[in-house]
C-alpha cells in the first residue's frame, strides 16, 4: 500500500503539483486524470523518485529499482531494439540465460521479435512506444508509472499491453492521461487540479 499525504512540488515559486491524500493498493490500476498542467506528470515523477525535492510524504513505495517510469515521449538509446530492452536487466544480478529468456518473452509479448536487431532510429512512433514498454516491464517492477501510454499505440499494441498487464496481477500501475483510459489501466480514477 502506497500512502501519499500533503504532497507538493514547487518549481520556480509555483506549486506544479499538489495532492492532499492518496492511497494506492498493491496491484491496483489507477488512472490520474486532470487538465493540462494539473500536475499528472509531476505526480508520476515524484512516485518514480525523479523529483527528490517534493514536500510531504510518500510512504510504502517499493525500492528505487522496483519502480519504472515510461515517459510520455520515450527516449530510446542508440543501438538496436533488443539492446534497449536488455539494458536495465544487465544492471541486476540475474543469470545470463534468465536475462535472455525475459528479453525474448517481452519482445514476443509486444510483437517486436522481428525488430530485435533493428536500429532504434528506424522505428515508427508506435514501435518506439512498444520498445519502451517492453524495456520497463522486462525489469519485473512492482510499480509501473505510465505517462500517456496509449498515445501512439494501435489496437494490436494496446491489446499486447493489456495481456502483459493481465499476466502481472501483483503489479501496481499508475497511468497519467487527460483523456479516459480503458478499464485495464483505469480500475479507479482520480482527478488532479
Partner 1 sequence: MTLFVEGFREALRLIAGGDPLVLDAAWRSLWISALAVLAAGALGTLGGLGLALLRFPGRGLLIALARAGMNAPTVLIGLLGYGLLSRRGPLGSLELLYSPWAVVMGEFVLALPIVLTWTQGSIRKLDHRVFETAITLGLRPWQRARVYLSEARLAIALAFLTAFARCFTELGIAMMLGGNIKERTRTLATATALETSRGDFARGMAMSLLLLLIGLIITLGLGWLNARRREEEE
Residues in contact with partner 1 by CB under 8 A are: 48-50, 64-65, 67-69, 71, 73-75, 77-79, 87-88, 90-92, 121, 135-136, 139
Smallest gap from residue 21 Cβ to partner 1 (A):
25
Contact of 190 with 32, CB cutoff 8 Å: yes
The smaller minimum CB distance to partner 1, of residues 77 and 193, is found at: 77
Contact of 176 with 146, CB cutoff 8 Å: yes
Smallest gap from residue 68 Cβ to partner 1 (A):
5
Alpha carbon distance 144, 142 (integer Å) = 7
Nearest alpha-carbon partner for 137 in 94, 180, 115, 107: 107
Contact of 70 with 147, CB cutoff 8 Å: yes
The smaller minimum CB distance to partner 1, of residues 11 and 188, is found at: 11
Smallest gap from residue 188 Cβ to partner 1 (A):
24
The smaller minimum CB distance to partner 1, of residues 87 and 189, is found at: 87
Smallest gap from residue 183 Cβ to partner 1 (A):
26
DSSP at 27 = T
The smaller minimum CB distance to partner 1, of residues 12 and 166, is found at: 12
The enclosing H or E element of 21 equals strand 14-24
Amino acid at each position: 500500500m502506497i500512502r501519499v499525504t500533503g504532497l507538493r512540488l514547487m518549481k520556480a515559486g509555483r506549486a506544479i503539483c499538489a495532492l492532499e491524500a492518496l492511497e494506492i493498493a498493491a496491484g491496483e490500476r489507477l488512472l490520474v486524470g486532470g487538465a493540462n498542467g494539473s500536475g499528472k506528470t509531476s505526480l508520476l515523477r515524484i512516485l518514480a523518485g525523479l523529483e527528490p525535492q517534493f514536500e510531504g510524504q510518500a510512504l510504502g513505495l517499493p525500492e528505487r529499482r522496483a519502480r519504472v517510469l515510461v515517459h510520455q515521449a520515450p527516449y530510446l538509446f542508440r543501438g538496436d531494439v533488443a539492446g534497449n530492452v536488455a539494458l536495465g536487466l544487465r544492471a541486476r544480478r540475474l543469470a545470463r540465460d534468465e536475462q535472455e529468456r525475459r528479453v525474448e518473452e517481452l519482445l514476443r509479448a509486444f510483437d517486436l521479435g522481428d525488430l530485435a536487431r533493428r536500429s532504434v532510429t528506424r522505428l515508427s512512433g508506435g514501435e518506439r512506444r512498444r520498445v519502451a514498454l517492453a524495456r520497463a516491464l522486462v525489469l519485473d517492477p512492482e510499480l509501473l508509472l505510465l505517462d500517456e501510454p496509449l498515445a501512439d499505440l494501435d489496437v494490436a499494441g494496446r491489446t499486447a499491453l493489456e495481456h502483459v498487464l493481465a499476466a502481472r496481477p501483483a503489479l501496481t500501475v499508475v497511468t497519467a492521461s487527460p483523456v479516459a483510459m480503458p478499464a485495464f489501466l483505469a480500475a479507479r480514477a482520480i482527478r488532479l487540479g
